[in-house]
Structure 1
Amino acid sequence: MRLQLIVTLISLFTYINTYAQQRATISGYVKDASSGELLIGAAIQVKGQQLSTSTNSYGYFSIDVQPGELEITASFVGYKALHTKINIQEKKQLTLELDPVDNVLDEVVISGKKRNDNVTNAQMGALNFTMEEVKNVPVLFGERDILKTIQMLPGVAKGGEGSSNFYVRGGGGDQNLILLDEATVYNASHLMGFFSTFNSDAIKDVALYKGGIPAQYGGRASSVLDIRMLDGNNKKFAAEGGLGLIASRLKLEGPIVKDKSSFMISGRRTYADLFLKLSDDETINKSKLYFYDLNAKANYRFNDKNTLYLSGYFGKDDLGYGDLFSFDWGNATATARWNHVFNEKLFSNTSVIYSDFTYRVNVSSDDSKFKIASKIENINLKQDFSYYRNNLNTFRFGIHGLRQRVSPASLNAGDNASVNSIDIQKRYGIELAAYASHEWKPSNWLSLIYGLRLTDFMVQGPGTYYTFDEDGEVIDSKDYDGRIVKHHLNLEPRMSMSFILNPKNSVKLSYNRVVQNLHQLTNTTSSLPTDQFVLSSINIKPQYADQVAAGYFRNFVDNTYELSIESYYKYMGNQIDFRNGADLQANKYLEGELLFGQGRAYGVELLLRKARGRFNGWLSYTLGKSERQFDQINEGNWFNARQDRTHDVSIVAMYELSKKWSLGANFVYYTGNAITFPSGKYSINGNTMFYYTERNGYRMPDYHRLDISATYEPKPAHKRFHSSWSFGLYNVYNRKNAYIIDFRENENNAQITEAYRIALFGAIPSVTWNFKF
């Protein structure tokens, strides 16, 4: 047996080396010919050799071919295919530039890769798309919003009316890792969730991973949303923007050194606060209600092997009521990235990343003046490698180092305040991770991606750490200096595989374990800026999720229609909830208010999509269940998670009526969120008190809504100047969907308690003028 194994390994090694000697390698980048923008997921095919690949997240590709005269085809959604003939004997580096087509709506798809990539690719539970591909999806206030768009995909539940928050396959809102140019965004919402932090004008590519999460990602238990910003036009100066009823935006881009470096800067601001200035009431006149954000990026290409990228984001919300109350919050990120090509096989990316989220609350009245402030920040160092061994084997490996600091909400009271100041200690943590993965195609009918991630989260001082009893009372404390307090070491295996039945049919399987060491404490279905963050500690163990999934994928009519049916089961360990009556704000013993249990989620997702043509769109349906179990809650029985929804349906349709007019519509329906309502009431000293029994044992009313939009693009009067008008109507039939259900005593009979519905939005029209030159 041992001799047979040695012979087999020698034969395999000999085959690989012989294979390598008989092949030549083509590598390089695919770009937009008009702007120099690198294209992510562009397809590269070799005519006559049945070979294909696609560009990575940095626009780079590598493919092995048989030497000789070849015809290479590069293609990407919204661009004319490029056919290039070359003569290659050993290796060759290319820069392939694709020309945009005049009207991209003729070829709208939700992936820039080859037409049947959804069938043949081993990656499961993933979707890629650009903002151009979803520009006609109707959204609230007429603002294109990537987070509102992904909420219409299967397995992704909406956080509520107008909210940017989302839940993936039954997980919590804090279990989604949201990245902007590799930097973590902790709170991805403006105006309490009605807008997301992401200005669509600045976005190039979006990738959502719901299952089979690649090993290079870690830190969240449910999903990864990886958003990449535009690099900037290195050919010519360009401007783009829009004026809307509630917000306006402007993007500027151009070359610093033509064909060598470029910049992009994009800003956006709402101006609802300007209408407050019209009020005669002095308090309202001084009030604030706005947000702004800024995206910026620059790059410099030293040579064919080295490129430096610098990017950043800053956004802030400011709400206030006169001099009595003010509340502001915001995100800031910065990324420095160096791409280096060692050779045609080995690609490297080195990143240094900073992320920050801060909020401040100020209250000023006659008897109470105080401030509440909280902050979370991290510095992240990443080194990633991609090794393209041959067309059948791609290896990815790297190391990541992350240092986080959490400054919990502390209360700073004024001299005459009716409350006392409370200073909450900062918490520190260091997370080191190493990963390796292998994408392997051992045969024409089988593709695999498997890998392993190793993480070590180190709880770091200085600080005082408390030990609590079962009732949450402090029983001991210990002070630590800056040394390591505790290690949380975890292995995270990942695997996806595709069994290709034929070019139009495949069956896929996946498994992944993901570990999470940052925890967001919230008791609503909307992610609020004031939600608290805590790190894993001596009391808080890392959350983890084990997910298995299986799916069937089929394409019809020359890959015009795509069908996928996926089922999943997810077990979630070390889940967090609160004791009844828990105090989450400015509480130095916050960890004593926490309860720890388990969760499970399972369901089936269906996606039917028309990928090309004048009429396109998709139908999404999710049948799911999400539950939690804690010994101290609901008598230890399983209960519905807040985000549990039995049914979730989205229909999205886009139609090119003519060269000037494009129409869009979407309809959403979902089962109401699980919620805890009072089961009875009693009176104490004349005060009515409600009695609660089962946790999340009731439901909000079912939600449904229809939105429509129309885009008018007149023939440009000038060659360089283009403009369009976008019209929209949100909630066409003025459905009063419940935002809150509250209770009150009947006016005529105090013995009767009645529920009443508070709706947030009715029908909302929108109009935006867009321009570019």
Structure 2
Amino acid sequence: MPAICLLTALSLQPAQAQTRVTVSGTIKDLKTGEDLTGATVRILELPGVGTGANAYGFFTLTVPVGTYTVETSFVGYQTQARKVTLTSSQRLDFKLSSGGQELTEVVVTGRSSQANVSKAQAGVESLDLKQVAKVPVLFGEKDVIKTMTLLPGVKTAGEGSSGFSVRGGNVDQNLILLDEAPVYNASHLLGFFSTFNSDAIKDLTVYKGGMPAQYGGRLSSVVDIKMKDGDNQQLHGSGGLGLIASRLALEGPIVKDKGSFLVTGRRTYADLFLKASSNETTKDARLYFYDLNVKANYRLNERNRLYFSGYLGEDVMGISAFGSNYGNQTATLRLNHLFTDQLFSNTSLIYSKYDFGIRLTSSDQDINIDSKIQDWNLKQDFEYSPSASQTFRFGAQGIYRTITPGRISAAATADINSTPDKTNHSLETAAYVSHEWKATEKLDFTTGLRLSGFSLLGQGNYSTYDPAGKVLASTHYATGDFVKTYLRLEPRLAASYQLAENTALKVGYARNAQNLHLLSTSAASSPTDLYIPTSLNVKPELADQLSAGYFRQLGPNGAYSLSAEVYYKWLQNQIDYRDNTRLSPSTDVESTLLYGKGRAYGVELLLKKNTGRLTGWVGYTLSKSERQFTAINSGAWFNARQDRPHDLSVVGVYELTPKWSLSGTFVASTGNAVTYPVGKYQALGQTASLYGLRNADRLPYYQRLDLGATFEKPQQPGKRFHHSWNFSIYNVLGRQNPYTITFETVPDDATRTQALQTALFRMIPSATYNFNF
């Protein structure tokens, strides 16, 4: 009987296929030719039938033969509709003009005003770069990462840091992608700026919860950043002059309507101010960063399009005999191919590298410390849409990774010896499949399964350790040998049910595995933090997360939106240092590690005002993040370093006049968890501090108010040059928020200890002149 049913179904399939046709195409900006990622396409005669454009502006819909009105829309663009008669599959491209319901507010928004209700995925937020330009930030530099940390569930690692924690995870548990290439250190100047020049960025999407199956390799979040494609209609540029940095961008067509390019550059000039110093040491100091973004694309034909994008950035710091530099390099080569109107392919070859170096030079010293992490990644993704209610995504990838952790090379006359090369090699692979299914007009599902693999490769010596950290056995492996292989299945599930047109409930579950681990002695990311791979002793980190949320649009045309999400996350194979660990160049790092578990849970509330002269959002997070290790705090649960139970952010923009807008942000949060000394003792004639339980204390609570104003004349018709001024004051209240607290013996009384607080910024005014032509 099953065989008969199967034959019957197959025999009916051609007849059914003849009654359905596919409409597909691309959605672009009319003025620049930029792909409009996430633009909405609807068939007005078929309620509930619609889709969104993918990352390359491509959409596809399969519907019955008939005459329909195809409508496309995108935030900040005029809606466009076309009447078409579909008797066979047809290509239908759209070019939308900006205008219509222009959004001048600064708002974190979904892909459409109803996206947070209609999509199955919860815990997803997007930043529109046109809408964050007015948020006041440090030194007036637009910063997508800093703005992202104003979202509930996303917490900055500390004052002046680009490191961030998502839903109780560590800073290394976030996958940051720039045009599909991972960026390992997303900060400049020790965290005061992020690596991302906003002039080069088209959009940013952060997945805080159950990320789709095409993403993997990190436990907490994915930050997917897309660079602009470049204007394929005309040549033009833009830039800005600030107090500490300047930037310039140039974009234009390679061949009009077929290809375009984008080049952006940015550099700070703090070192130029130092040269004016009368102090000879300070005068010769080096303190600057630069970054360069490039992108080009070319349409080979109707079914093939080639992309190349790259990033190069470096920080240089030095004074006297000390010098340090670190930076990222990425390159992505992609080919988009349309096999059929329903099957879309993206093939990517990706290179990523992060390295840092420290140099100590003098008459009798010549010491270099170098470290790097380098990836070669080949990735194949497919997207298949057999009907308007279903989309399949499937693909595979392989990453060959090389890590060199802190290699020291020293001259024969130096006081320190060179260390052996401990470079290790690994192969990380994955295959995935996901299915988006609109089961009914009210019920949506996204299911997925990811199979991740990790293989540690020779050459090198690899050891196993007992619980005390002593070597049990050590084995040498030749080049290309497989030392150890791990496989993990990672199921994903998201579902939403629309209670009404403007209200939805969502639930989700996701498992993630991570095979790259960052060892740090602070909650903030640092250029000298140490990366290690999964090994014989270090197991893949695992996270299981359950989440549920309530989403609602309020007021006419979604003037307000409200979301409330809860989550609970179980963490396995977490890594931390043993108590009293002292690292040195000769330390066998794995012997100092402990392995335990963690948990994180919380509630996230977000209220946004999307329209009107006053726009913005209020976000609040109530959360807890804890860890448990047998050898720490006698096995009791303790606060993770990034645990901050209360976190509040308020962002607002007020359009005062057509030329002037005012903006402000207010943030307040519990201080990070820290470990303070609770006493003193004498040892070998020295006074030493006795520390209490791990992370049982806290820094003082954090509070900051920033204000900004933007002056911008409406652009005159026929005039290409346009400019604006942005003024801001960082930390208007002048609060001395603690960066660090150290403890020292009172100079005239060795029995007493004093706490010394270091604050970075009290009040920082800035002004930036922006222009485009």
Asked if 1 retains the 8 angstrom alpha-carbon contact of 2:79 and 2:100, the reply is no
Moved over 6 A (4+): 5-18
Q: What are the within-5 Å matches in structure 2 for residues 480-629 of structure 1?
A: 480-481=477-478, 482-558=480-556, 559-587=558-586, 589-629=588-628
| Alignment equivalent of 1:423, drawn from 420, 439, 444 | 420
Q: CA deviation at 1:367?
A: 5.2
Give the direction of change, closer, same or farther, for the CA distance of 1:374–1:24 in structure 2 (3 Å limit). Answer: same
Q: CA deviation at 1:750?
A: 3.5
Larger displacement relative to structure 2 (77-86 or 571-580): 77-86
Q: Does 1:741 align with 2:738?
A: no
Distance 1:171 1:8 in 2: 50
**What SS does structure 1 have at the residue aligned with 2:271?**
helix
Deviations 1:220-241 (A, max 9, x none): 0111000000011110001000
Deviations 1:589-630 (A, max 9, x none): 211111111111001111111122322111111100000111
Aligned to 2:375: 378
Unaligned runs of 5+ in 2: none
Distance 1:6 1:106 in 2: 60
| Alignment equivalent of 1:441, drawn from 428, 434, 438 | 438
Larger displacement relative to structure 2 (706-715 or 759-768): 706-715
Q: What are the within-5 Å matches in structure 2 for residues 343-382 of structure 1?
A: 343-365=340-362, 368-382=365-379
Distance 2:674 2:223 in 1: 27
Distance 2:162 2:484 in 1: 35
Asked if 1 retains the 8 angstrom alpha-carbon contact of 2:140 and 2:766, the reply is yes
Aligned to 1:164: 162
Larger displacement relative to structure 2 (12-21 or 351-360): 12-21
Asked if 2 retains the 8 angstrom alpha-carbon contact of 1:425 and 1:588, the reply is no
Distance 2:665 2:156 in 1: 14
| Alignment equivalent of 1:57, drawn from 50, 55, 58 | 55
Distance 2:708 2:12 in 1: 58
Q: CA deviation at 1:269?
A: 0.3
Distance 1:104 1:614 in 2: 12
Asked if 2 retains the 8 angstrom alpha-carbon contact of 1:129 and 1:207, the reply is yes
One-letter code aligned to 1:569: Y
Give the direction of change, closer, same or farther, for the CA distance of 1:589–1:184 in structure 2 (3 Å limit). Answer: same
Larger displacement relative to structure 2 (239-248 or 655-664): 655-664
Structure-1-length-normalised TM-score: 0.97
Deviations 1:271-311 (A, max 9, x none): 00001111222222211000000000001101111000000
**What SS does structure 2 have at the residue aligned with 1:201?**
helix
Q: CA deviation at 1:88?
A: 1.9
Deviations 1:112-167 (A, max 9, x none): 63321211210111112221121111111111111101101011111100211100
Asked if 1 retains the 8 angstrom alpha-carbon contact of 2:519 and 2:529, the reply is yes
Q: CA deviation at 1:506?
A: 1.1
Asked if 2 retains the 8 angstrom alpha-carbon contact of 1:123 and 1:449, the reply is yes
Aligned to 1:726: 726
Aligned to 1:633: 632
Distance 1:495 1:437 in 2: 9
Asked if 1 retains the 8 angstrom alpha-carbon contact of 2:106 and 2:653, the reply is no
Q: CA deviation at 1:522?
A: 0.5
**What SS does structure 2 have at the residue aligned with 1:751?**
strand
Q: What are the within-5 Å matches in structure 2 for residues 36-75 of structure 1?
A: 36-50=33-47, 51-75=49-73
Aligned to 1:665: 664
Aligned to 1:768: 768
Distance 1:483 1:566 in 2: 46
Distance 2:82 2:449 in 1: 39
Distance 1:7 1:692 in 2: 75
Aligned to 1:758: 758
Q: Does 1:646 align with 2:649?
A: no
- Percent of pairs with identical residues: 50
Asked if 1 retains the 8 angstrom alpha-carbon contact of 2:127 and 2:205, the reply is yes
Aligned to 1:135: 133
Q: CA deviation at 1:10?
A: 7.9
Larger displacement relative to structure 2 (711-720 or 163-172): 711-720
Aligned to 2:385: 388
Deviations 1:77-118 (A, max 9, x none): 121122222222121112200111299435765346332121
Q: Does 1:473 align with 2:470?
A: yes
Q: CA deviation at 1:9?
A: 7.2
Deviations 1:690-749 (A, max 9, x none): 001200000000001000111101244661110000000100110100111111233554
Aligned to 1:114: 112
Q: Does 1:25 align with 2:28?
A: no
| Alignment equivalent of 2:182, drawn from 175, 184, 188 | 184
One-letter code aligned to 2:217: G
Q: CA deviation at 1:686?
A: 4.6
Deviations 1:52-101 (A, max 9, x none): 21101111101123433322221111211222222221211122001112
Aligned to 1:76: 74
Distance 2:597 2:13 in 1: 47
Q: Does 1:701 align with 2:700?
A: yes
Asked if 2 retains the 8 angstrom alpha-carbon contact of 1:410 and 1:424, the reply is yes
Distance 2:200 2:648 in 1: 29
Aligned to 2:231: 233
Aligned to 2:288: 290
Deviations 1:296-348 (A, max 9, x none): 000110111100000000000000002x1000000000000000011110000
Deviations 1:398-429 (A, max 9, x none): 01011100011011112211111112311110
Corresponding pairs, count? 769
**What SS does structure 1 have at the residue aligned with 2:545?**
strand
Unaligned runs of 5+ in 1: none
Distance 2:589 2:233 in 1: 55
One-letter code aligned to 1:739: Y
Aligned to 1:454: 451
